[in-house]
Structure 1
Amino acid sequence: MPTPKPSILIQLDSDPQPSVFDGVVAVDSGVEHLFRHGGVQPDAVRDLVYGALFTRGPADLQRTAIFVGGSNVAVGEAILKEVTKTFFANFRVSVLFDANGCNTTAAAAVLAALEGAGGVLNGVSTAVLAGTGPVGQRVARLFGRLGARVALGSRQLDRAQATVEMLGQVNGGRFTPFSTSDEDSLANGLAGVQVVVAAGAAGVTLLPEQVRRSLPDLKVAIDLNAVPPLGIEGISATDKGIDRGGVRAWGALGVGGTKMKIHKRALQELFTANDIVLDAEEILELGRTTLG
């Protein structure tokens, strides 16, 4: 029996220097050879992908995979599109899209929400603060896929409305935009919400404690910001299902352990076939099976 080819992961990163974090996770996940490309733009993708496709026979292509990363999620999405457009017939390799950790972080947050809500989000009233950002959009998208009602908050209402329109086209429309520009608007937008996820920038408080304590229906609070001041006031970054005044709370580090498990499992999954594309939904399902 022939010896399997060594595994190769081709890291396509839109930043000038490829992410060291993503490279380390790849090595710790068992990747034998890591080819790192920085400053990648969509118009350069085809030749890079051809290099992956035409150097091994079809039977060995499952030992080659592509990781699309970088801090610019929009550019990463364009790179992913060009990668998949280059494939033809059986000349394809598996791909993981996780620019800026958007998909693995969102999946980990949604798994925490599922745990806190008793395993089901269908019909549950949820909210995503900073829902127009890359992680917030994906959390909202996954909530919608799971049947939740989703209130999507932003300091700029027009941005929230635009994101809701985009998500409605994807998920069938179970989204409501609201403004978070002041505490009254925030409290009104969160009225009746049972699960809230704060997906904002580092060091920005999105949900003050006095507003959080005024929400009688709130059961689960998940904060994805680890840099003080935290996104949800009164929650610790290390919280992992901790009771905080009748609310089950997760902090960024509490979610981060799950994110890392999902990230490693997703990389390993790439080498089981040559036709896998892992985006938000697929990564969430991997997380659900990984954590049982």
Structure 2
Amino acid sequence: MEKPSILHLFTAAKNASPFDVNMAFDAGFDKIMPYTHVDLTEVAGLTQDAIFSRSPSGVKREGIFIGGRDIDLAMQMLSVAKAAMFAPFACSVFADPSGAFTTAAAMIAKVEAQLKLKFNEDLNGKTLSVFGATGPVGGCAAIIAASCGANVQLVAHNSLNKVASKAQSWNSQYQVNLRTVDGTDEAKKMDVLLQSDIVICAAAAGVQVVSELQLLAAKQLQVVADVNAVPPNGIQGLHVTNDGDKIAGTQIVGVGALAIGQLKYATQHQLLKQMLAHEVEQPQYLEFMAAFHLARTLLKNPS
């Protein structure tokens, strides 16, 4: 009798995400077991408990999902879990804290696709400004975009030092070159918009960051994207359903939260299915760049 497929869900938070549990069941896992308040020092032991309790064929029907809210901790947990395993006792590991990896991947893939479709350009050399840059989605989107050659600016809306510290840390960890710019008042924010080709908004839900008047004045802007689906939108005039529509009165192309969310859902679903599909393959270690490459592929081949 075939052993049930099990997804072990590790999170440093006090609760596992119901979203991730639903996604795992819908992708085909038979059982999902959450482990909460997980410390980094516990990951190796939990991983080895999971893999040594089954034969090599049984281990292939397991996976580890890493949640939480901290993108750096999630990447560290993935590395520790991977290092704790060895052939033939190894299973796939997928990190997606708060859905940030798949959301950021979908957002940047959508922006890249619109640049190509509407302007026949790519991200390389583009000035991309991130509002809400210290959160998990904004930070991850910044790292992905920088990895694609964009000149990424993290916009500070409150503390310049806090954002600069994040940029320095991510530059060191992910070998990118993120810059920090001052957006702490409306005049400084306007200066940022005037020199941006792309703006992405990953600020707190229900907070408007960019106004329609600012968009009208930002003549260099080509594409804007916003993951906020809670009114008011982070970017005024950008509707949640926009998927390449122009912002009224401008030549700026917009991508809204629902358009991003649909691709995020498809990306997470397929990555979870890939964890089950490796039964005759090597384990997969899936993080934000894996999510981005898949999101790109799904846009090109939606079937």
* TM-score normalised by structure 1 residue count: 0.92
Please tell me whether the aligned partners of residues 265 and 290 of structure 1 are also in contact (alpha carbons under 8 angstroms).
Answer: no
Instruction: Give secondary structure in 2 for the equivalent of 1:222.
Output: strand
Q: Give the equivalent residue in structure 1 for 2:68.
A: 70
Unmatched runs of 5 consecutive residues or more in structure 1? none
Asked whether 1:201 is paired with 2:209, we answer no
Given the alignment, which residue of 173, 176, 181 partners 2:179?
176
- One-letter amino acid matched to 2:80: E
- Structure 2 unaligned blocks of 5 or more: none
**Once structures 1 and 2 are overlaid, which stretch shifts more, 97-106 or 69-78?**
69-78
**Aligned counterparts of 2:202 and 2:42: Cα–Cα separation in 1:** 32
Question: Shift in Å at residue 125 of structure 1?
Answer: 1.7
Paired residue total: 290
| Secondary structure class of the residue paired with 1:66 | strand
Q: Is the 8 A contact 1:160 1:179 kept in 2?
A: no
Q: What SS class does the counterpart of residue 229 from structure 1 fall into?
A: coil
Moved more, 173-182 or 149-158: 173-182
CA apart distance, 1:175: 2.8
CA deviation after TM superposition for structure 1 residue 61, in Å: 2.5
Deviation at 1:85, TM superposition (A): 3.4
Matched, 1:277 2:277: no
Aligned partner of 1:260 in structure 2 is 265
Partner of 1:65: helix, strand, or coil? strand
State how far apart, in whole Å, the 2-side matches of 1:134 and 1:287 are. 18
Q: Find the counterpart in structure 1 of residue 223 from structure 2.
A: 220
Per-residue CA distance 1:250-292 (angstroms, 9 max, x = gap): 1111210000000101111122145311111111112222332
Give, in whole Å, the separation in 2 of the partners of 1:291 and 1:38.
34
Deviation at 1:221, TM superposition (A): 0.6
In the alignment, residue 262 of structure 1 is paired with which amino acid? T
Distance (Å, rounded) in 2 between the aligned partners of 1:4 and 1:117: 47
State how far apart, in whole Å, the 1-side matches of 2:70 and 2:175 are.
27
Letter in 2 for 1:234: G
SS of the residue aligned with 1:226?
A: coil
Distance 1:169 1:38, change over 3 A: closer
1:236-251 map, 5 Å? 236-244=239-247, 245-251=250-256
* Partner residue, 1:159: 162
1:30/1:173 Cα in 2 relative to 1: closer, same or farther (>3 Å)? closer
Deviation at 1:160, TM superposition (A): 2.3
Q: 1:165 corresponds to which letter in structure 2?
A: Q
Find the counterpart in structure 2 of residue 121 from structure 1. Answer: 123
CA displacement, residues 31-72 of structure 1 (integer Å, 9 cap, x when unaligned)? 122222223222332332122211222244322110011244
Correspondences of 1:7-156 after superposition (within 5 Å): 7-118=5-116, 120-155=122-157, 156=159
Q: Which moved more, 1:42-51 or 1:124-133?
A: 42-51
Tell me the amino acid that sits aligned with residue 186 of structure 2. E
- For residues 282 and 87 of structure 2, what CA distance do their matches in structure 1 show? 12
- Bigger CA drift: 122-131 or 85-94? 85-94
* Bigger mean CA deviation after superposition, 94-103 or 124-133: 124-133
What secondary structure does 1:190 align onto? helix
Contact 2:147/2:176 (8 A) holds in 1: no
Kept in 1, the 8 Å contact 2:66–2:94? The answer is yes
Instruction: Give 1:206 deviation, angstroms.
Output: 1.6
Partner of 1:207, secondary structure, is coil
Identity rate, percent: 29
User: SS where residue 200 of structure 1 aligns?
Assistant: coil
Q: Are 2:294 and 1:286 aligned?
A: yes
| Superposition deviation, residue 147 in structure 1 | 0.8
Equivalents in 1 of 2:84, 2:195: separation in Å? 47
Which segments of structure 1 move beyond 6 Å, counting only runs of 4 or more?
Answer: none
State yes or no: 1:232 paired with 2:222: no
**Offset at residue 218 of structure 1 (A):** 0.6
What is the RMSD of the two structures over their aligned residues, measured on CA atoms? Answer: 2.0
Structure 1 residue identity aligned to 2:289? E
Work out the CA distance in 1 between the residues paired with 2:128 and 2:155: 11
Query: 1:104, CA displacement in angstroms?
Result: 0.3
TM-score (ref. length: structure 2): 0.88
Check the 8 A contact 2:78/2:285 in 1, yes or no: no
Q: Which moved more, 1:58-67 or 1:38-47?
A: 38-47
